A and B are shown apart, each in its own frame.
Chain A
Amino acid sequence: MTTAIEINCTTGEITERELTADELAQREADAKAYADQQAADDKAAADKVAAREAVYAKLGLTADEIAALAD
């Protein structure tokens, strides 16, 4: 579906139209940028967990001790 809704706040008129080629291209670019950002966020979170687990490993903690720290 590529229908755009426009609500004219002065007249109250509501119009529907198909997206232009430029708008479709912008949409695709925005979607890619968003996906890239999500991937970066996920990687940052995974890196944080990995770093924390590396510290635990250096300390020689057991799984139960790590769980106790997280509570």
Chain B
Amino acid sequence: MANTYTLIASNTLSSSASSVTFSSIAATYTDLIIKASARCSTTDHGVNVSFNGAATYDRINIYGNGSSAGSDVVADLLVYGGMNNSSYTANTFSNFEMYAPNYTSSSYKSMSIDTTTENNATANNFTAMVAGLRSVTSAITSITLTPETGSFVQYSTFYLYGIKNS
């Protein structure tokens, strides 16, 4: 791993939680990365990603589940799909990574997300790539992940990394 890749904070849930927020993020890096291994308590698999508490952004999403694929372009939604939910094999978790470049700039904030579910079955798998833009011009100081319904289950893990360009 490059020495410019630094773990800022992490958390493994000791019990279920309806949201996870990384707050007071210092402006000492160039980019931010969140890596998560998560599972939802309900049958939904959407997750909200919010910067600085703001609720909306634009996104482009492409996705597939092994039998069909699709895409959508959505304004004012902040959701990506692809988290393991209660219909998946017990004790399995989805993988998720979000990259937010240039998070301290005065420009709108972009992000890219890749995510995939894990399931011990040939059906009911899901993967997605998401490009998002949040029309906020202040530096990102907090990021909140929220399941669409229900909670992140116990043992879901969340890691925030900072990337420096030198």
Interface residues of A (CB under 8 A from B): 1-12, 14, 16, 19, 23, 26-27, 30-31, 33-34, 37-38, 40-41, 44-45
Contacts and interface: CB of A to CB of B under 8 A. Distances in A.
Contacts of B46: 34, 38
B146 A9 contact: no
B151 A7 contact: no
Interface stretch (B11-19, B84-92, B96-104, B106-114): B11-19
Contact of B79 (A10, A37, A45): A37
A45 B24 contact: no
Given A1-B41, A16-B17, A30-B148, A37 B24 contact: no
A34 B44 CA distance: 10
Interface in B131-166: 146, 148-151, 158, 160
B60 interface: no
A1 B151 contact: yes
A66 B159 CA distance: 48
Contact of A10 (B10, B26, B77): B26
A29 to B, nearest CB: 8
A68 to B, nearest CB: 19
B152 to A, nearest CB: 8
